[in-house]
Structure 1
Amino acid sequence: MAAHLMKEVVRRDPGQEISHYADNQSIIKALTSRKGRTGQYLIESYRRGTHKASQDTARIRLRWISAHSGVEGNEAIDVAAKEAAGGRSSRREELPSILKGKEGLRASKAAIKQEKKEQVKRDWEKKWKESPRYARMARIDPNHPYRKFRKWKDGLSRNQGSILVQLRSGHLPINVYLKKIQKREDDYCDWCKEKEGQIVPETVNHLMLNCPAYKEEREKMKQRLG
């Protein structure tokens, strides 16, 4: 596509010097090597395109630029390139002949697989958000599929993992939950009511962070965590 755009620039303004910036060093090295490699047909297509453009212009320069250089428009170009690779940015009739038809470039197997994978992910996310469970689970953790939680859980025993799941979901025998399932008339923390004279709901956050009954345990945990 870069070669096609350079030819267009030359056609409109012959003799103009052109600089092509790329943030992929391996591609730049591949363009200066004749060794065959995966995607070699793309390299050859670029060479043919730039050779044709260079016949009508002063010089074409290929330069490297850092992907995180802060150059204005660099991120926008990256987004546009990904959309184009997925076939989501332009209608087929608007594409240059090199990208369509029998004479066009062969479709990239890797790009097709990646697009299919992303499409499956988008379809799954759409169905998940339409599920009646989504709103309830999103309140617990909006970052589905919970990779960070799974990483934490992998280092725990089966019993510890079960407790962690209960804490995250709030489905454990604390007074707020017991009242919810009609096993208790109120949801107050018994310790705070009897020892402190305070009426405080016994929630997970209260037990883990605030309840004076577990002050010593919290201090020990802080020391272990450093």
Structure 2
Amino acid sequence: MRTTPTTALEALLNLTPLNIHIQQTATSTALRLRTLNLWRQYRIPHTSILDTLTAALPIVDAKHDLIPKQYIFDKKYKIHLTESKQNDTGRHNHTHLMIYTDGSKTDQGSGSGVFSEDLNIKIHTSLGQYCTIFQAECMGIILAAHAIAARKAKDENICILTDSMAVLQALNSYTVNSGLIYECHLILNDLGAVNNINLRWIKGHSGSRGNDAADELARKGSSSRAIGPEPIVPLPLGYLRSQVTSRSHDQHSALWDCISECRQTKEVLPEINKRISNTLLKLSKPQLRVAVAALTGHGHFNKHLFNLGITDSPLCRACMEEEETALHVIQHCPAVSDYRDRYLGPPRSPPEITSNIKGLLGFFGELGWLE
């Protein structure tokens, strides 16, 4: 309908307005094209979209992890996606040089750890704030491979153990579009040309002394301060997209803050709240219709129906004292106080009402006004 409060619905359900969503999609596409060296900067307005993004988020100019798709068929190393019983018990394998790797990410940062009794390796490194846990696990394998190469190992049976199934599956694939995974593949291939290299999954926190030592080293790395400018490793495209999405959410919140329409909805929802939106989106369609009508005032309330020319009076049908709006019924109408006390408790501020969707549905279900 012409009177549908679209802006209020977008705020209640946390739906990005169409114009902002289009800009978000175009920006994400431009980022991907630039990362793949397919973006061309022409002197026309729409190509300035990345300049606008860079001004708001300078981090997007850092090196990215996305690379053109690479096809890999010649692998001089073997991937084992199942754990051997021997590794489960943590017993030492005398026929292989065992190297354990791990990654860690905390609120302080991220890091990688490498441990090997056979090669006397104890490495921990900090990877900064922007590195994902996937990248930290991958960097652990890269660091292990560099440590093996530095010791000039040749004709050895080497087993690299990691608890990251995702990294092993990425290395096991025949297509790669991550620069970090491709770098890992290249150094493993170099090692595999002169050694027998096996990468094996091991269950995390399984009581393996080597795995526990690598985990401790990785946590030590994540708690250490990174040396050098951030980001330490190339930014994953997923992180950049999340930043673009977050920026769109901020734009939506700013738009909601400054509009003067949707008076009642702004009273019950002063700012966009993801938790409330998630609660609403989990409702059935009939329940959501009732909740939206109550929160926006666009329902079977005499004031709204009077504005549409459907009724001849805006007065409350229950008390006949004030105009019948959603907030009047929910907070003030003396004729429905028993129902209000039962489902909503004493009159509260409009934002508090929004946090009690279940009570709101029970209240109007009992009244039957929004059926």
TM-score strictly above 0.5 = no
State the structure with bigger RCO (CA 8 A, min sep 6), 1 or 2. Answer: 2
TM-score range, shorter chain: 0.3 to 0.5
**Normalising to structure 2: TM-score of the pair?**
0.30
**Normalising to structure 1: TM-score of the pair?**
0.45
Higher helix share: 1
Higher strand share: 2
